[in-house]
Chain A
Amino acid sequence: MSTRVNKVLAEAGGLFRGPHRVFPLIGKITRDKWRTAVDRRHLYSYVKTERSTARTLPSVIKWIINAQRTDGGIAAYYSLLTGYSASYPEVTGYLIPTLYDFAHSAGDHSALCAAEHATRWLLSLQLDSGGFPAGLQGSGGAPSVFNTGQILQGLVRAATEAGDGDIYKAALAAGDWLVSMQGTDGAWSGPEAYQGKAHTYYTMVAWAIAQLAEISGDEKYSLAAESNMDWALTHLRPNGWPEGLNLEGHPNYLHFVAYAIQGILESAILRRRPDAVQAISKPAWLLLRKFETSKRLPGAFDHDFSAGHNFTCLTGNAQMSCVWLRLFAVNRDLRYLNAALKMNELLKNLVPARGARGIGGGVGGSYPIWGAYQPMRYISWGCKFFADALMLEQRLMRDLEVPACAS
């Protein structure tokens, strides 16, 4: 309790240090208050916006690049109370593929530079064991399985893009450390896991290792990835709920539910496991139905997808959009694409088109901004998943619309 009070006081104290943040804060709260008051959800309609994907995507990427600190790391968030946080290794790692994707699709040199700068910084952080530390830069975090997995995603991509032997070696070292930390059941627990417990959302680590298996061709990584994926699949309840998120002291935020789904799905695609794709389609479809019928996904769930939370976790929404788009790419069921298009519209509507550095183009932790997940903050991993969703949408719609026009 006292930790929470201290946290709130520290956040609030930020306003004294930066009084210029008062007006954006009041403005955002007022806008969200007004929006939630007039918001009407109807079964036969969906949120529409005039803002195109082509216009929104650069503003989201610009937010990410603006959040890059001088060391090369990317801040975890911009708080409306305290401003930018310190660099966050975990997010910096898995933002690298997003930056490369944008650099290629838009021919944007600044995104390319940002990805390279971020990679150099990450290499400087790697521990002798091959793992990476938890927490924000300077917090003296112990090696963390999850953070190392997320960073591995970036290293694998950077190694592929740059063809750099040092990055490749760093990726292998991280992969080896992860494999050495893995239990015989396929899960990660112990001191290197969050709260010392095994978590089903660590399938994101499995995804990173599966990517490493793709570029290295080393069987041990394939086995490690599949072993974790199979362990997570045993935790899927018959209704699709991913049991074993194991977040003590936190609700089951959509962000973590989506992590579990996304990790299994992406690992299954890379490992060519249609059975796993089929299994994970169940919770993805269930969340799609929830979104389609109530026009919003709850920010957190109690158990079995029941929810009594009156906020939405924008990052989780963007992740689910990515999941639906990937499922469409796999099974060509247009209903997944349909839901993702609508989800992206909803998110475009909630991302500020303009605003000061740290605000314009930023994805809030929650909607409304005072919701339970990362309140009063624009978060870099929200921007990452939203940018991923928009780029996937662009690519898939291009593929779909071009043949239609040609015929």
Chain B
Amino acid sequence: MRVVVLSSSVYSETACAMVAAMADAGHVPVGALSLRTWDHRTLIRKLGQWGIANSARYVRKKLIGGNSTSAALHNPYLAQFLANHGQPLRNLRHIAKLYRFPVATCSDQNSSPAVAQLRRWAPDVVVFAGGNILRQGVLDLPRLGVINVHLGLLPHVRGMSSPEWSLLQGVPVGITIHYMDSGIDTGRILLCREFPDTADCHSLEDLRNQLIAFGVRQLTDVLSSLDRGTISPQTQSQLDQDNQFFVIHERLRILASERLAASCVAAIGAEVA
């Protein structure tokens, strides 16, 4: 099966972990298409996403923060996928060199050159590990579709800040692997898995990191099942109300964090009892 990976940056730990896990499971991608890290559009996007202060902090860390390869991973749970002779693989190009597949970069994954590159790779499946909101031209390109790992259980929690909203809504925390369509997380579902270790997470960041690692593990299984033809996507059931969630405000994030802490306390209480 021909798999292509889309990434928001060649330095994306999640994308690196996905590619490394896929390759280890025998699904070496035929190519990876990443957004250019120092492209002005990417920089503006990041500036908008992180704000000036956080962006400056990031640049300072990157430029004068010492040897980036020896620095700890932002998400320690991805170390299991990125281990390579004591040094974690943290650049898509290094992984590509190891497994011999090409990496192309672009400023927009919907642009004509990007689409032309994808077409040349003729993928059966595209794995979306970050980047732009994909237009129909890209979504229609692979034979089977574009796959996304969503950090929430669909169809209950669509959109952003899914782990936080799951906690606030009282919906089990989990991941969904689904095909992407023109809606926000509305595509057909390949796999939906509740995360069993929520009570072990000591913070929202920890939960998010563990969910990403959980999603990476499930992704390789889904790709294997797709390859064998033993999985069939399910159309999402329609809920009574719009189930899209948006980026969470800091004060509600704190509430979600308290809910998580309460679930940890409850779990410890149950163990003691």
Contacts and interface: CB of A to CB of B under 8 A. Distances in A.
Interface of A: 40-46, 48, 285, 289, 292-293, 334-335, 337-339, 341-342, 345, 397, 400-401, 404-405, 407
Given A40-B44, A40-B47, A334-B168, A45 B247 contact: yes
Contacts of A342: 249
B271 interface: no
24 contacts: A40-B44, A40-B47, A42-B45, A43-B160, A43-B247, A44-B247, A45-B48, A45-B49, A45-B247, A48-B51, A285-B242, A289-B244, A292-B246, A293-B246, A334-B169, A334-B252, A337-B252, A338-B246, A338-B248, A338-B252, A341-B252, A397-B251, A401-B251, A404-B255
B258 interface: yes
Contact of B249 (A285, A289, A338): A338
Contacts of A345: 249
A342 B247 CA distance: 10
B243 to A, nearest CB: 10
Contacts of A407: 258, 262
Contacts of A404: 255, 258-259
Contact of A400 (B47, B49, B255): B255
Contacts of B247: 43-46, 292
Interface string B225-255: 0000000000000000010111111111001
A287 to B, nearest CB: 13
Contacts, number: 54
B48 A41 contact: yes
Nearest to A42: B48
A48 B251 contact: no
Contacts of A45: 48-51, 247
A338 B168 CA distance: 12
Interface of B: 44-45, 47-51, 133, 160, 165, 168-169, 242, 244-252, 255, 258-259, 262
A335 B49 CA distance: 20
A42 B255 contact: no
Given A46-B247, A285-B242, A334-B168, A40 B48 contact: yes
A343 to B, nearest CB: 10
Instruction: Report, nearest first, the 4 A-B pairs whose CB atoms are least far apart.
Output: A42-B48, A40-B48, A292-B246, A341-B249
A339, A342, A397, A405: which has the most chain B beta carbons within 10 Å? A342
A404 B255 CA distance: 7
Nearest to B169: A334
Contacts of A40: 44, 47-48
B132 to A, nearest CB: 11
A375 B48 CA distance: 28
Contacts of B48: 40-42, 45
A400 B256 CA distance: 12
A48 B247 CA distance: 13
A335 B251 contact: no
A313 to B, nearest CB: 21
A43 B255 CA distance: 22
B108 to A, nearest CB: 15
B231 to A, nearest CB: 30
Nearest to A291: B246
Nearest to A341: B249
A325 B160 CA distance: 21
A244 B48 CA distance: 38
A44 B245 CA distance: 12
Given A44-B160, A45-B50, A400-B255, 10 more contacts: A42-B45, A45-B51, A48-B250, A289-B244, A334-B165, A335-B245, A337-B252, A338-B248, A341-B251, A341-B252
Contacts of A334: 165, 168-169, 252
A44 B49 contact: yes
Contacts of B246: 292-293, 335, 338-339
A45 B44 CA distance: 13
A401 B44 CA distance: 35
A42 B41 CA distance: 12
Contacts of A401: 251, 255
Nearest to B242: A285
A304 to B, nearest CB: 18
A401 B255 CA distance: 7
Contacts of B242: 285
Most interface-central of A43, A285, A339 (chain B CB within 10 A) = A43
Nearest to B257: A404
A281 to B, nearest CB: 9
A285 B246 CA distance: 12
B247 to A, nearest CB: 6
B268 to A, nearest CB: 15
Contacts of A337: 252
B185 to A, nearest CB: 13
B62 to A, nearest CB: 20
A46 B48 CA distance: 9
A289 B244 CA distance: 9
A405 B257 CA distance: 11
A45 B249 CA distance: 9
A400 B254 CA distance: 12
Contacts of B47: 40
A45 B246 CA distance: 10
A403 B45 CA distance: 38
